[in-house]
């Protein structure tokens, strides 16, 4: 099944990224009225703008670690998000998102304290190298007539080594493309909440952040509304955790066109430094759609996009995050579990769970250094509630070890995982024939693997090596004894020689030391640690 979207700078290096974020952090402190003073005594209160660095996560963003050439996108998707989030000096979408939030926090005019609600409606389109429609003739897994046709889009994994549109290695191009939705919507949510702090900062002392004396601030009438937006409520509160830590809670409720959007955040700064923090962001977006696994009601299909982001920065170079998002059935459906994260187990069922998620479950986890983006990443998506398997990327981002360049490299695996309801972003095998004749969804102990390396001369991720080729049969192989032919280069025409045997070259399973072979062990041997859920005590909004 084709995964569904939402209803509807050159010279990048690790060293440059680190220096740019250091400069950005300094500019935020200066812009907030601070000069590196000690914040360990606890959160500032009243009208002191230094407190905004404590009350809001000023270095938080969700983005693909391989989305580095942020100003060079040529696809409609890339252009759309680039207009809202231009590239910053690092050329990374991650850095650009952080810059956008911090620029908003440091605005000096209330009229400038606005955000772009269109970020909540970013569509997702697969990269051209991934899962194209594949024409075939005389498929060997089925002898019935007709035995020719087309494999549907989205089901064949990494099909081309390089993306024909961006020129990037396919693992980078597809991860960037798939993550565009959660990247844009999480940023839209953060910018919406940052506009509340911006309004306080730019009020000239008329408004103050909440504190122990005045624990709640109502900003509903004070916020400048973006075009088409009507604010229903905008509340910022202050409380303390059981460990006497400050906890800032944000709630923003507004209507935009025909959509109802609610964004909430709980942010807990560390008592020793505002640079360390944890928290949780949620949003829900009500809409109607023309395509969904959810039932139609009175001629249209009401759906609610739910998102949750849990984050925990325990050191300057250590951060864990988990982002979840899915499209739930019904209007204003709350798709969160008791911990206030998107409930993977709440799948649509017409009888037992009529407001469960029906479409497009996404999960992104990372354990990384936010100053360099080096670390481990896992991302999966599942198009429909009944699909039974996720599509998964597991990857590790590291530098090239050369002091002169410190260009980013990544080892990326792509495969299939368990059902999204299990919320496990581990690759568990590969399915060679998802939707063709005689298809079989049994996971086999293989995965596609691509080694990618950033080329600072071209601004692209090169493919250093690729183990991605296979025949779209149940085994991934073809013995050359029949008349099977298919489109191997995604040009719309069959091109393989029926007499040529095809043997897949995917990564194979490895021994874990006990005689048990698995593709998970192969991924572990490549230095990849699939991140676990972040710990975040008392973080629910």
Total domain count, the chain: 1
What value does the mean pLDDT take over residues 424-438?
A: 97
Distance CA 457, CA 459 (A): 6
Residue 310 near residue 341 (C-beta atoms within 8 A): yes
Higher pLDDT, 59 or 320: 320
Q: Please provide residue 97's backbone torsions phi and psi, each rounded to the nearest 5 degrees.
A: -65, -45
- Confirm whether 1 is domain-assigned: no
Cα 129 to the chain's mean position, in Å?
19
Report whether pLDDT(339) > 90. Answer: yes
Q: Are 470 and 476 in contact (CB under 8 A)?
A: yes
**Tens-digit pLDDT profile for residues 265-288:** 999 999 988 789 999 999 999 999
Q: Please check whether residue 187 lies inside any domain of the structure.
A: yes
Give the DSSP letter of residue 3. Answer: P
DSSP letter, residue 430:
B
Instruction: Check residue 69 and give its pLDDT.
Output: 64
Distance CA 49, CA 197 (A): 9
Please determine, for residue 78, whether its predicted confidence score (pLDDT) is greater than 70: no
Average pLDDT of span 341-348: 98
516 falls within a domain: yes
Per-residue pLDDT at 258 exceeds 50: yes
Asked, for residue 146, whether it belongs to a domain, the answer is: yes
Q: Do 406 and 103 touch, CB atoms closer than 8 A?
A: no
pLDDT higher than threshold 80 for residue 526: yes
For residue 433, pLDDT over 80 is answered with yes
> Distance between CA 525 and CA 510 in Å, rounded?
8
What's the whole-number mean pLDDT along residues 91-112?
A: 94
Q: Tell me: pLDDT of 447 over 90.
A: yes
The pLDDT of residue 74 is: 32
Q: How would residue 340 be classed by pLDDT, with cut points 50, 70 and 90? A: very high
CB 147 within 8 A of CB 437: yes
> How far, in Å, CA of 28 to CA of 105, rounded?
8
- Per the model's pLDDT, the better-predicted residue between 217 and 25 turns out to be 217
14 falls in which pLDDT band (50, 70, 90)? low
Q: How far apart are CA 335 and CA 329, in angstroms?
A: 9
Nearest by Cα to 287 from 256, 259, 263, 257? 259
Q: What is the pTM of this model?
A: 0.89
Angle of helix 93-105 relative to helix 180-201, nearest 10 degrees, comes to 20
- In this prediction, residue 25 carries a pLDDT of 45
- The predicted model gives 459-484 an average pLDDT of 97
457 within domain boundaries: yes
Question: Does the pLDDT of residue 40 top 90, yes or no?
Answer: no
| Residue 371 pLDDT > 60 | yes
> Is 42 strand, coil or helix?
coil
Mean pLDDT to the nearest integer, 34-42: 34
Which H/E stretch holds residue 25? helix 14-31
DSSP 227-268: TTEEEEEEEEEEEE-TTS-EEEEEEEEEEETTEEEEEEEEEE
Identify the residue whose tokens are 């220096």.
Answer: 19
Residue 142: predicted pLDDT: 86
Burial 287-315, CB ≥16 within 10 A → b, else e: bbbeebbbeeeeeebbbbbbbbbbbbbee
Within-domain flag for 540: no
Contacts of 57 (CB under 8 A, 6+ apart): 190, 267, 277, 279, 311
Q: Could you please report the per-residue DSSP string of 177-229?
A: HHTHHHHHHHHHHHHHHHHHHHHHHTTTTSS-B--SSS-EEE-TTTSPPPTTE
| Cα–Cα dist 27/20, whole Å | 10
Please state the rounded mean pLDDT for residues 89-97. Answer: 81
pLDDT of residue 79: 34
- Per DSSP, the three-state class of 409 is strand
> What does pLDDT average to over the chain?
88
Over range 341-356, report the average pLDDT: 97
Structure-block tokens of residue 237: 């509160």
Within a domain: residue 531? no
Q: What is the pLDDT of residues 222-249, one digit of tens each?
A: 999 999 999 999 999 999 999 999 999 9
| pLDDT score of 404 more than 80 | no
417 half-sphere exposure, CB direction, 13 A CA radius: 26
Instruction: Give the model's pLDDT for residue 298.
Output: 84
Domain carrying residue 285: 14-525
Write the burial class of residue 38 (CB in 10 Å: 0-12 exposed, 13-18 middle, 19+ buried).
exposed
What does the pLDDT average to over 198-208? 96
Residue 41 predicted with pLDDT over 70:
no
How close are the terminal C-alpha atoms of the chain, in Å? 35
Q: Using the predicted structure, report yes or no on whether residue 456 has a pLDDT greater than 90.
A: no
The residue-averaged pLDDT of 336-364 equals 97
* 249-262 mean pLDDT: 98
172, part of any domain: yes
Give mean pLDDT, residues 317-325.
Answer: 97
Question: Tokens at residue 244, please?
Answer: 């006497």
DSSP structure string for 447-465? EEEEEEEEETTTTEEEEEE
Residue 161 half-sphere exposure toward CB, CA atoms < 13 A: 11
What local confidence, expressed as pLDDT, does residue 295 receive? Answer: 94
Residue 462: pLDDT above 90?
Answer: yes
SS3 state at 306:
strand
Rg (CA), the chain: 24
């Amino acid at each position: 099944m084709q995964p569904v979207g939402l209803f509807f700078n050159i010279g990048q290096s690790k060293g440059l990224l680190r220096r740019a974020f250091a400069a950005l952090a300094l500019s935020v402190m200066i812009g907030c009225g601070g000069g590196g003073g000690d914040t360990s005594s606890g959160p500032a209160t009243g009208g002191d703008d230094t407190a905004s660095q404590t009350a809001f996560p000023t270095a938080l963003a969700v983005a693909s670690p391989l989305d580095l050439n942020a100003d060079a996108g040529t696809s409609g998707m890339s252009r759309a998000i680039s207009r809202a989030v231009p590239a910053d000096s690092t050329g990374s979408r991650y850095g650009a998102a952080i810059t956008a939030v911090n620029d908003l926090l440091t605005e000096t005019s209330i009229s400038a304290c606005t955000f772009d609600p269109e970020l909540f409606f970013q569509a997702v389109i697969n990269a051209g190298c991934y899962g194209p429609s594949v024409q075939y003739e005389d498929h060997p897994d089925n002898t019935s007539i007709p035995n020719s046709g087309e494999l549907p889009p989205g089901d064949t994994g990494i099909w081309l080594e390089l993306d024909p549109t961006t020129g990037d290695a396919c693992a980078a191009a597809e991860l960037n493309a798939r993550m565009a939705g959660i990247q844009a919507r999480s940023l839209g949510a953060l910018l919406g909440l940052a506009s509340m702090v911006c309004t306080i900062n730019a009020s000239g002392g008329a408004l103050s952040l909440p504190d122990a004396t005045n624990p709640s601030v109502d900003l509903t009438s004070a916020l400048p509304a973006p075009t088409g937006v009507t604010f229903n409520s905008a509340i910022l509160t202050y409380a303390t955790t059981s460990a006497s830590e400050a906890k800032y809670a944000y709630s923003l409720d507004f209507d935009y066109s025909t959509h109802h959007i609610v964004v909430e955040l709980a942010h807990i700064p560390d008592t020793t430094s505002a640079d360390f923090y944890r928290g949780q962001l949620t949003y829900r977006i009500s809409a109607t759609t023309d395509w969904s696994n959810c039932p139609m009601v009175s001629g249209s299909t009401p759906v609610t996009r739910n998102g949750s982001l849990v984050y925990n920065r325990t050191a300057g170079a250590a951060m864990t995050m988990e982002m979840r998002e899915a499209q739930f059935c019904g209007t204003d459906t709350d798709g969160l579990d008791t911990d206030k994260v998107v409930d993977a187990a709440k799948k649509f069922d017409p009888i037992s769970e009529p407001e469960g998620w029906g479409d497009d479950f996404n999960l992104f986890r990372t354990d990384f250094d936010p100053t360099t983006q080096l670390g481990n990443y896992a991302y999966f998506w599942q198009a429909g509630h009944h699909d039974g398997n996720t599509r998964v990327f597991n990857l590790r981002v590291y530098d090239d070890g050369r002091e002169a360049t410190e260009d980013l490299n990544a080892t990326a695996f792509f495969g299939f995982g368990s059902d999204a309801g299990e919320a496990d972003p581990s690759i568990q095998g590969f399915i060679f024939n998802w939707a063709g004749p005689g298809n079989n969804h049994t996971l086999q102990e293989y995965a596609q693997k691509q080694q990618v390396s950033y080329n600072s001369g071209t601004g692209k991720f090169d493919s250093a090596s690729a183990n991605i080729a296979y025949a779209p049969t149940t085994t991934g192989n073809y013995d050359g004894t029949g008349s099977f032919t298919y489109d191997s280069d995604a040009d719309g025409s069959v091109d393989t020689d029926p007499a040529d045997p095809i043997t897949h070259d995917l990564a194979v399973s490895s021994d874990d030391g006990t005689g048990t072979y698995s593709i998970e062990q192969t991924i572990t041997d490549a230095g990849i640690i699939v991140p676990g859920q972040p710990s975040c005590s008392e973080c629910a909004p």
